Copies of this chain bind each other. A is one copy, B any other.
């Protein structure tokens, strides 16, 4: 199994994964390569896969009535990304996921996801904890979004995710923070001028 995936599992569940489980799980995963700007998941279609990013990066975004898009989540190598609303509910998705760089993923079909969870409790536990963690950090992010200024949100984001700052264009970070690129530019100027 892919080293980064194995270490994600072991880090998450806090112990080693038996080789036979790795073996079986590996057989459920298939590889796919995307170019920059390719669409992994399209809003409006049912999302049947979750993607583990092996190399590269991508982001989930949402289009509003005015036709503006809003970045909801970023994913880089070592992370899973998907439209979990659609994946879990089986309804049409609302998020589009797009590659930011040339990206290699391992994708897991919903059927195999369920098989893995039913056959091997270790994967049940893995995905459960992953989503628990995702919930907790999302709640924290929402709390900050409603309580902090854009400047503080940017500062926190850049200390929490310095790697994202390097690889993700600024206008998408602005979108993720809920502000316009022009505003983020001004905010950044403010910050550097104060130093």
Contact = CB atoms under 8 A, between A and B. Distances in A.
Main secondary structure, interface of A, reads: helix
A88 B136 contact: yes
A181 interface: no
Contacts of A176: 146
Given A134-B135, A142-B138, A142-B141, A147 B70 contact: yes
Given A70-B147, A145-B178, A146-B177, A84 B135 contact: yes
A72 B135 CA distance: 13
A84 B132 contact: yes
Nearest to A71: B146
A141 B62 CA distance: 12
Interface residues of A toward B: which range?
A: 20 to 34
Contacts of A68: 147
A37 interface: no
Given A146-B178, A177-B146, A136 B64 contact: no
Nearest to A148: B64
A30 interface: no
A142 B142 contact: yes
A146 B144 CA distance: 12
B177 A72 contact: no
Given A73-B139, A138-B139, A146-B175, 8 more contacts: A70-B146, A70-B147, A84-B139, A88-B133, A94-B143, A124-B128, A134-B135, A145-B145
